[in-house]
Copies of this chain bind each other. A is one copy, B any other.
């Protein structure tokens, strides 16, 4: 237990990441919460459907690494609000395909626009190169693929 070495827990990467994540998410959270009464998981499910147009709960679970129970409840709410439509797969009746309704899509479009603005505000104090590097490192830390694989 060497007391006088260089590592300080305040620089511990998971700590810094969590702090940055919490703080940077806060204002945007109040936006989708206040404007649409959505929870974070609902917003995440919504934007995945906005991007990929047609996914099963399992697809979202795999891609976004969200547990299936959270997705199940999020989809239930989104579907009750008629923002998402569920279509049972007739070839495999266990799973169902999810899609945004036009109403759901307009919510998505709105929040996507807001996210874009918000993202710019967060990154404006950094150089474009630094921001690009930051995103690359974050993706790698999250063991996400850098490339966007098609369906």
Contact = CB atoms under 8 A, between A and B. Distances in A.
Interface of A: 1, 5, 7-25, 28, 44, 47, 50-51, 65, 109-110, 112-113, 115-116, 118-119, 122-123, 125-126, 130, 133-135, 137-144, 148
A122 B137 CA distance: 11
Contact of A141 (B20, B44, B135, B139): B20
Nearest to A8: B51
Nearest to A26: B14
A135 B18 contact: no
Contacts of A50: 9
9 contacts: A8-B51, A13-B134, A14-B118, A16-B135, A17-B17, A20-B137, A23-B65, A130-B137, A134-B134
A119 B10 CA distance: 11
B16 A138 contact: yes
A24 B141 contact: yes
Contacts of A133: 130, 133-134
